[in-house]
A = this chain, B = another copy of it.
Amino acid sequence: MPDSYEPTERTIPTRSRERASYDRALIHSLLDETYLCHLGFVRDGAPVVLPTLYTRIDDRVYVHGSTGSRPLRMAGRPDPGLAVCLTVTHIDGLVLARSAFHHSINYRSVMIHGTARQVTDQAEKSMVLDALVDQVVRGRAQDSRPANPRELAATSVLRLELAEVSAKVRSGPPNDDPEDLELPYWTGVVPVRTIHGTPEPAPDLAPTIKVPEYLAER
């Protein structure tokens, strides 16, 4: 595998090209760091942006949903495949410049363009359902009851190849114009982080069942 994805007309930004990257390792690590994506598709000519979970396995990402959900149904008909844009965004900081104009956000995002297709192979589907659980909490899939045949049948999985994909990263302090450097405003970055708190047991959890290690370690 080459170390980078091939840039295309869609993945070359019109502005701030220095922020774009096609590096495979960077893109994979950004995708592996979280579990929420925003999935865009077109319905009756208009865009829809759906927050949903995803997982990455090698050079593919997967999303899942009820067989009744709109994008899942649309991916299955009339020609298999649904044009999608899948975007994952990490916010790292608020960039407060001296000028309102240069205010910005430190972020790392990935945007994948492509055609999502239904996974029909049952072994692949089962593997993906495990991976979706583990994407959210590593180690959880084998510490829960796997999907039974009825649940498997009620769940659709869509596969999207990582081919037309790019990352975009902004980091570091504000970039004020030279003529603004003496202005009397505080300037810098407010770090932003997502944290996972202390697990809260369900009301009906037997008190003998303790918090598992894969949660305590987070």
Q: How far is the CA of A145 from the CA of B185 in the complex (A)?
A: 8
- A176 CB to closest chain B CB (Å) equals 8
Q: Interface size of A by Cβ–Cβ distance < 8 Å?
A: 91
Extra contacts besides A96-B144, A101-B147, A195-B195 (4): CB < 8 Å? A94-B196, A99-B145, A174-B202, A190-B196
Tell me if A78 counts as interface (CB < 8 A to partner B). no
**A15-B68, A47-B84, A205-B186 are known contacts. Are A144 and B41 too (CB-CB below 8 A)?**
no
Q: Does A80 contact B (CB under 8 A)?
A: no
Q: How many copies does the complex hold?
A: 2
| In the complex, chain B residues whose CB is within 8 Å of the CB of A53 | 105
The 8 Å CB contact of A173, one of B113, B130, B144, B203, is B203
Residues of chain B within 8 A (CB-CB) of A113 are 46, 48
B189 touches A200 (CB 8 A): yes
Q: Assuming the A-B contacts A99-B145, A186-B212, are A49 and B40 also in contact, with contact meaning beta carbons closer than 8 angstroms in the complex?
A: yes
Q: A98-B144, A186-B143 are in contact. Are A46 and B42 (CB under 8 A)?
A: yes
| Mask of A123-143 contacts with B, CB within 8 angstroms, 1/0 | 000000110010011001101
Partner of A46, one of B48, B85, B89, B201: B85
